[in-house]
Amino acid sequence: MSESHSCASQVITCKAAVCWGVGECKVEEIKVEPPRKAEVRVKILYASLCHTDIVMSKGLPIPLFPRVLGHEGVGVIESVGEDVNAEDFKQGDVVIPTFVSECQECENCLSGKSNLCLKYPLTFNGLMLDGTSRMSTVKGQKMLYHLFSCSTWSEYMVANVNYLVKLHNWDAAAAIPPLSHTKIERGSTVAVIGLGAVGLGAVEGARMQGAARIIGIDNNDMKREKGIAFGMTDFINPDDHHSGHNRDHNKSVSQLIKDSTDGMGVDYCFECTGVAHFINESLEATKMGKGTAVVIGTSGSTSVQIDSLSLMSGRTLKGSMFGGLKAKTDLPILINKCMNKEIQLDELFTHEVPLVDINQALALVKQPDCVKVLIKI
């Protein structure tokens, strides 16, 4: 047996942040099984978190506990399953987990319209493709749910190779920003509601595609500077328009966007807050007859009210997962841009904590000066 298979048969005991119920994360020892056929076991170096983890920690949309969260990270392959081709992945390779995959064969992959593969789908059941988990508690051997096709808040995790991208250098790539890959035409006007990491990614995506104006909306003034660094041209803080003496009193976000575009609205509006109410606001903020609202922020709500007349007036409402990026086609290009400093990762990473302080990380993301927290595993 080759060296790369030698340790693949043993269960590893390691530390992980286990979410036991709503908002309760505890760092404890867990067992991680060896990788099965088309899987590898990865030693995680760095992870990160976003609003999606927080939504899932609240048991939304499906309460799956106990669970190891985390869907952003970078690690080194510790061992490989028997069906893994060494030319694709081997021990020591640096990889990032991608919760979307791309088989390049299925109807969706071939359509050119979607990044959601049907053969290797985005999974919501917290289990591997064969319907089982690779993680369990040390005490009581209780099964632990994964998050999507990975669980990065753990020293080790198992992933199917179809949900991994190989890196040649891990420096600075701990958490690739979910840049919006929604195609926009050059010269478009764009609004981005919510300037967290996802929103800043949308700003950057719009800038790279030649948007004429990029209006950022956030009620945190500290995001003004961040937004400008990523290419934002205008900033609106809705709170500035909420004072009782101000004639703009209680103007909606969509109205504020229309006000700054001569009443027209924008060609594209990206909803990045995950606040359900803003989905309709993003639609309202787009141009009659041709505007498109794109929902990127993860919302805990499963239903939302939409103004049917706005929709009928030729506007499009669509959603996007993983920034619309294709795992094999687009992600390596994006990673290269990060490596070449064409994308300003340094502006994104504002805090760093060790895994044991995971609850501190969850609190930090709510702070106004925080964009992205790096979790050192």
Residues binding Zn ion (CB under 5 A): 50, 52, 103, 106, 109, 117, 119
For Zn ion, the closer of residues 52 and 189 by Cβ is 52
The identity of residue 257, as a single letter, is I
Identify which of 334, 377, 330 has the alpha carbon closest to the alpha carbon of residue 46: 377
Taking each helix axis from N to C end, the angle separating 197-208 and 223-230, rounded to the nearest 10 degrees, works out to: 30
The identity of residue 222, as a single letter, is M
Identify which of 71, 166, 162 has the alpha carbon closest to the alpha carbon of residue 119: 162
Least Cβ distance, residue 109 to Zn ion (angstroms): 3
Max Cα separation, the chain?
77
Least Cβ distance, residue 108 to Zn ion (angstroms): 6
In the chain, how many H helices and how many E strands?
A: 11, 18
For Zn ion, the closer of residues 8 and 147 by Cβ is 147
Least Cβ distance, residue 210 to Zn ion (angstroms): 26
Rounded distance, CA 338 to CA 284, Å?
34
The identity of residue 320, as a single letter, is S
Say which DSSP state 304 is in. -
Identify which of 90, 91, 73, 100 has the alpha carbon closest to the alpha carbon of residue 173: 73
Least Cβ distance, residue 375 to Zn ion (angstroms): 13
If DSSP codes are grouped into helix, strand and coil, which group holds residue 100? coil
Least Cβ distance, residue 301 to Zn ion (angstroms): 18
Least Cβ distance, residue 353 to Zn ion (angstroms): 17
Least Cβ distance, residue 15 to Zn ion (angstroms): 22
For Zn ion, the closer of residues 257 and 272 by Cβ is 272
Which residue is associated with the tokens 């979607």?
Answer: 114
**Cis-peptide into 61, omega within 30 deg:** yes
